[in-house]
Amino acid sequence: MKKRIPKKLLSLLLAVLLLLPCFSCFVFAAPEKNDDPVIFIAGFASTPIVDPSRGKQAFPPSFDDFRPVLKKYAGDVLRALIRKNYAVLEEPLTNTLLTAFDMIRCDENGDPLLPATTTSYVYPTGDELRAKYDPVQGYTAEDNIYYSFDWRLDLKTLAEDLHSFIEYVLEETGAQKVKAIGSSMGGCVLATYMDMYGTEYLSSALFLSAAFQGATIAGEPMIRPLTFNSANLTAFVSSVLGTDVKAEILNTLIDSLYQLGVMDRFALTSDQVVGIVSDGVYQNALRYIFGRIPGFWALVPYEMYDEAKTAMTKGIVSDAFYEKIDFYHEIQGRIPEIIQSEMDAGVQVSIVSKYGIPVIPAVQAQQNMTDMVVDVRYSSLGADCAPVNAPFTDRSGEYVSSDGYIDASTCAFPETTWFLKNVSHTAHPFAELTFLNTLLTADSQPTVDAFADYPRFLIQTPDGRIVPLTPETDRTLFILPAARRTGFGDMLKRLWDNFFRILNLIIRLAGQSIKGNLPAVPVPAVVKP
């Protein structure tokens, strides 16, 4: 049977993916030994695109870049939504996408239309590197060396450039090897580097929420139509808002909107817009944007690759482009073997997979357990994960998380893979950095049994600590909405309860505000006799 190329609207989904700050650099905490320089490899959209002809940031775009398009189409969009004439939205969406992503587009060979200043953007000076690497002073919070790169490029080119960067770091510092952290797409780059250059310059590697086996959020919209579910949308919003008093107020309001059917209407309208305008937007904009960016193809899951390649690239790319993306796809299928080879050769490898947050609710796989961006089964190399609304009830033992969501026995390296709950892909809190630094500076290959404070399953507490996950420490960031009341009286009671809950929360919030604004009471000094 001939496969149907589905209609898609990647705009919102991929724009959010691109603009997420999750791939930005972070530094490690807790002073430790500094036997090797530490290089952090970030992810997709981690470095702004700078137009060398103007010396100005071209991506992410500024509001001024959007202003002409918004001014031109604002009235048309408003009238279309009011009249439910959604076909009129096709032109504004297409032109808005082309404006937003024009500066990251590539040609049919996968070469950027707007070249970067250099492939690696900015190399730190030798003095900067030596200041970060000082074995006598030890490893401090500022000693992380950030490798910035043009994330549009193919993985082979990026691995080659990383190799040159590592050689430069070693030459300038006098060190013999480096430690490397691959975060998100950076995990793809690091795995490719391992395959191409082996262990000569690498002493340890840490994969943090690595997308080295893809992300559903990037691959599924290429082969399946987007879909919106009001319950999952409500749960996702609750996970983003947080858990303080203001978030509780908003979550209660959202639950009320869900009970009244407003969230259903929003999801239905979104589905209708997708069904009407997606084909034109997809054909005229999205294929020419994302379909031609080699780096983006590193995020497509292995099992979705062939179908996505047919749907997104047919007739608009060259054989040279296929060679670029096929190169990493072949590596992607061998990543467990690549890592095992590195470990056999003495490289210390740790894998940290974040979980506990629903994915952006616009894909059919929105029940997958993720860190909001990357699926846990991909970042952990194969762990079985329960859906967000149905934890395992028939599994137990040391490999199963106490909340019933993760079975680590099926991942490729269960003894060197940690699962961290309630820290999103976009966040790197201080406690996480301390945990990662512990793994990175271990004297020998770290395992889940090596550190009493950091067993296999961990969770971030409301006060920001990272502790072992147990039934006592467990909490869930997202809230699946309560079953909608069927009778008018039941629904009215639910809304009435929500009203008093919001009123109580507002009183609490006001009390906190008043308390926070009170002048400090001076404390008399203690005078010693």
Residue pair 277/9 in contact by the 8 Å Cβ criterion: yes
Q: What is the pLDDT of residue 527?
A: 34
Is residue 18 very low, low, confident or very high in pLDDT (cuts 50, 70, 90)?
very low
β-strands 202-208, 56-59: how paired? unpaired
Q: What is the pLDDT of residue 20?
A: 43
CA distance 422 to 243: 11
**Mean pLDDT score, 500-527:** 56
* Strand-pair partners of 327: none
Q: Is pLDDT larger for residue 59 or for residue 158?
A: 158
Percentage of residues of the chain with pLDDT beyond 90: 40
Tens digit of each residue's pLDDT (9 = 90 or more) over 365-406: 888 899 989 999 999 999 999 988 789 999 999 999 999 999
Amino acid at 40: F
Tens digit of each residue's pLDDT (9 = 90 or more) over 108-133: 999 998 876 544 456 787 787 877 77
Residue pair 179/203 in contact by the 8 Å Cβ criterion: yes
Q: Is pLDDT larger for residue 7 or for residue 390?
A: 390
What pTM does this model have?
0.83
Alpha-carbon distances, residue 275 vs 86, 260, 272, 415 (angstroms): 9, 25, 5, 46
- Across 58-67, 101-110, 222-231, 252-261, least confident range: 58-67
Is residue 5 very low, low, confident or very high in pLDDT (cuts 50, 70, 90)?
very low
**Mean pLDDT score, 236-254:** 73
Q: What's the mean per-residue pLDDT of the chain?
A: 81
How many other C-beta atoms are found inside a 10 Å radius of the C-beta of residue 23?
Answer: 23
- Across 42-46, 103-107, 321-325, 505-509, least confident range: 505-509
Residue whose structure tokens are 């990026």: 158
CA distance 62 to 48: 12
**Mean pLDDT score, 443-449:** 94
Q: Quick one: which of 433, 183, 219, 195 has its CA closest to 306?
A: 219
Residue pair 389/234 in contact by the 8 Å Cβ criterion: no
Q: Is pLDDT larger for residue 342 or for residue 53?
A: 342
**Mean pLDDT score, 283-290:** 88
Read out DSSP for 250-263? HHHHHHHHHHTTHH
What backbone phi and psi angles, to 5 degrees, belong to 467? -135, 165
Q: What is the pLDDT of residue 31?
A: 47
How many other C-beta atoms are found inside a 10 Å radius of the C-beta of residue 227?
Answer: 16
| 509 has pLDDT over 70 | no
| 330 has pLDDT over 90 | yes
* Backbone conformation region of residue 60, classed left if phi is above 0, alpha if psi is from -120 to 50, else beta: beta
CA distance 15 to 10: 8
CA angle 222, 362, 272 (to 5 degrees): 90
Q: Is pLDDT larger for residue 376 or for residue 102?
A: 376
